[in-house]
Amino acid sequence: MNDPDNKKVLIVGGGFAGLNAARTLGNKKGISVTLIDRRNHHLFQPLLYQVALAALSPADIATPIRGILRQYQNVDVLMGNVRSVDFEKNEILAGFGTLPYDYLILACGANHSYFGHNEWEDHAPGLKSLEEATEIRRRVLLAFEMAERTRDQEHRKRLLTFVIVGGGPTGVELAGAIGEITRYTLSSDFRSIDPRATRIILVEAGSRILPAFDAELAQKAARGLEKLGVTIWTQSAVTHIDENGIRVGSEEIAAATVLWAAGVEPAEINNELGTTLDRSGRVIVEPDLSVKGHPNVFVLGDQANFGHGLERPLPGLAPVAIQMGRHCANNIVRDVKGKERKPFHYFDKGIMATIGRADAIVQTGFLKFGGLFAWLTWLFVHIMYLVGFRNRMLVVIQWFWSYVTLRRGARLVTSRNWKLAKRVDLANRYSMSLLLTGTGRRKAGSKAASKKASKKASKKSSGKKAKPAARKKKPSRG
Ligand SMILES: Cc1cc2nc3c(=O)[nH]c(=O)nc-3n(C[C@H](O)[C@H](O)[C@H](O)COP(=O)(O)OP(=O)(O)OC[C@H]3O[C@@H](n4cnc5c(N)ncnc54)[C@H](O)[C@@H]3O)c2cc1C
């Protein structure tokens, strides 16, 4: 199918940048494309929090990459993990072997950063993949199930305390969505607990939430969150996370569910490239998005630091990745045609974040607004960017259904371990490992410690000042 005389373009990553590069190069004469991704699907990360909070199902926001690119005869798709690049030989090393290239596009995205505390991940999952989203869904829903059946009031309080670390858009969306399910969806489903009494604490190291937004809009968002029962702690750098909860300075919050939305770092492959990286590990790219000294290698999206002519480098956003993907592909086409490359310029259409039911904030140029109209704008933009007609239809139908009925259709507690799930009571199994540190596993003395911690926590939520903020890792959507 692919002419051996064609220029071979290898794309690593089928996210926003890689996929748009592949589409732009699709069916172009003189070019053969191979896209490699460690997953078989393109994931629409902006709606991941809706999977995590049971509003959508995983398949609603993910589409097989092979299916998306099937109309392009010159595009091959391979599933695999790319480990490193040999710039001398012009080949990549993947889990399945090596592959040569004439042009290489690296678009591997980003991972969570726990600021040197990777051990926190078990207790505070982040939100980057479907696995993490369904794990968060499991933890959140299971916490309510466990709270319903325990008679220990202190333990119940801990189960009904949710902490979200990081006040960027992802943290705000997660906190708002938990507020929403406790206020609306679950409010009449339980008999022993009142989900509306759930404590939701959004912890932010900086002086305010949503630092990328105008201060007035961020204030508006904070008021919206408070209406949903979210308590916001600013200037509160988390210093410890374990199975009992979190610590902020000397204060402890006993919480069964802690979610991480505080920091990201670029894909690990950056460390294997031997190119110039910025402080957060992104590859500093040239004006045409290529790597210095390697004009046939490009780095795009969350993996790249592009700062030419800008006050600060472009943030990790989907439109940045999409525009980079298209631009880079067009430059490759220009190369093949013997034309000069063009420098990349980002067209900034603005930023937005949703807070909850019928509430969002939008900032575009001089235009800043919040509330219902912002929420409708948010819905429209997300539907437009979602890949695949089927997914768009499904999401619209589910949003409409949820809006009218206040229900969420994907409230499933599922296990990742299919063999064990057949045999054991899920709640018991997970209570052992994650949720029920309040019974059985905890030593006698730690109950008192937890009591002390929840006392401190309630003191704190009533407005006591916290410890100063830790440093932020890099500009990202976080
Ligand atoms: C929860 C969340 C919410 C967000 N919300 C918004 C939003 O509302 N608006 C917005 O603009 N942005 C949002 N973002 C940011 C946006 O999703 C990213 O900026 C965008 O996905 C970056 O695109 P990318 O192509 O660089 O990377 P990605 O989309 O992350 O794609 C990277 C791809 O590379 C693959 N990959 C990684 N390493 C390898 C390897 N070694 N070998 C093979 N394949 C590899 C991955 O499997 C993945 O498919 C959000 C991000 C998250 C996590």
Catalytic site includes residue 173: yes
Residue 346 has pLDDT above 90, yes or no: yes
Tell me, yes or no, whether 170 and 239 share the same domain. yes
Angstrom distance (rounded) from CA 112 to CA 268: 11
b/e sequence 300-328, b meaning 16+ C-beta within 10 Å: bbbbbbbebeeeebbbbbbbbbbbbbbbb
Does 5 or 423 have the greater pLDDT score?
Answer: 5
SS (H, E, C) 276-297: CECCCCCEEECCCCEECCEEEE
**Residue owning the nearest CA to atom 26 of ligand 1:** 301
User: Which ligand 1 atom is nearest residue 353's CA?
Assistant: 8
Tell me, yes or no, whether 275 and 233 share the same domain. no
User: Which pLDDT score is estimated for 385?
Assistant: 87
From the CB of 47, is ligand 1 less than 6 Å away? no
Q: How confident is the model at residue 418 (pLDDT cuts 50, 70, 90)?
A: low
Tell me, yes or no, whether 133 and 191 share the same domain. yes
Residue 470 has pLDDT above 90, yes or no: no
User: Which pLDDT score is estimated for 403?
Assistant: 78
From the CB of 16, is ligand 1 less than 6 Å away? yes
Instruction: Return the CATH number at 85.
Output: 3.50.50.60
Q: How confident is the model at residue 459 (pLDDT cuts 50, 70, 90)?
A: very low
**Residue owning the nearest CA to atom 52 of ligand 1:** 45
**Is 197 domain-assigned?**
yes
Q: How confident is the model at residue 448 (pLDDT cuts 50, 70, 90)?
A: very low
Angstrom distance (rounded) from CA 147 to CA 152: 9
Angstrom distance (rounded) from CA 431 to CA 194: 21
* Pair 221, 368: CB distance under 8 Å: no
Tell me, yes or no, whether 164 and 19 share the same domain. no
Tell me, yes or no, whether 175 and 244 share the same domain. yes
Tell me, yes or no, whether 143 and 212 share the same domain. yes
List of residues 6+ apart from 351 with CB closer than 8 A: 169, 212, 213, 317, 362, 363, 364
Ligand 1 centroid, distance to 105 Cα (angstroms) = 15
Burial class (CB in 10 A: 0-12, 13-18, 19+), 40: middle
Ligand 1 centroid, distance to 302 Cα (angstroms) = 7
Ligand 1 centroid, distance to 46 Cα (angstroms) = 9
Angstrom distance (rounded) from CA 182 to CA 147: 13
Instruction: Give tens-digit pLDDT for 60-78.
Output: 999 999 999 999 999 999 9
Ligand 1 centroid, distance to 268 Cα (angstroms) = 13
Of the listed ranges 60-74, 194-208, 428-442, the one predicted with least confidence: 428-442
Cα distances (Å, whole numbers) of residue 368 to 74, 223, 316, 360 = 43, 16, 21, 11
From the CB of 269, is ligand 1 less than 6 Å away? yes
Instruction: Give tens-digit pLDDT for 87-106.
Output: 999 999 999 999 999 999 99
Tell me, yes or no, whether 269 and 233 share the same domain. no
**Is 312 domain-assigned?**
yes
Instruction: Return the CATH number at 179.
Output: 3.50.50.100
From the CB of 40, is ligand 1 less than 6 Å away? no
From the CB of 12, is ligand 1 less than 6 Å away? yes
Instruction: Give tens-digit pLDDT for 372-408.
Output: 999 999 999 999 888 777 888 888 888 888 877 777 7
**Residue owning the nearest CA to atom 27 of ligand 1:** 109
From the CB of 13, is ligand 1 less than 6 Å away? yes
- % of the chain surpassing 90 pLDDT: 74
Catalytic residue among 132, 145, 173, 252: 173
Tell me, yes or no, whether 372 and 232 share the same domain. yes
40's tokens:
């078989």
Tell me, yes or no, whether 269 and 232 share the same domain. no
Burial class (CB in 10 A: 0-12, 13-18, 19+), 98: exposed
* Pair 200, 187: CB distance under 8 Å: no
From the CB of 299, is ligand 1 less than 6 Å away? no
**Residue owning the nearest CA to atom 17 of ligand 1:** 45
Place of tokens 């392009």: 72
Angstrom distance (rounded) from CA 263 to CA 126: 9
Tell me, yes or no, whether 164 and 228 share the same domain. yes
From the CB of 319, is ligand 1 less than 6 Å away? yes
Torsional class of 97: left (φ above 0), alpha (ψ -120 to 50), beta (otherwise)? left
Q: Which residues form the domain of 162?
A: 119-262+357-405
**Is 443 domain-assigned?**
no
Ligand 1 centroid, distance to 138 Cα (angstroms) = 23
Backbone angles phi, psi at 31, to 5 degrees: -130, 130
**Is 44 domain-assigned?**
no
User: Which ligand 1 atom is nearest residue 129's CA?
Assistant: 53
Domain count along the chain: 2
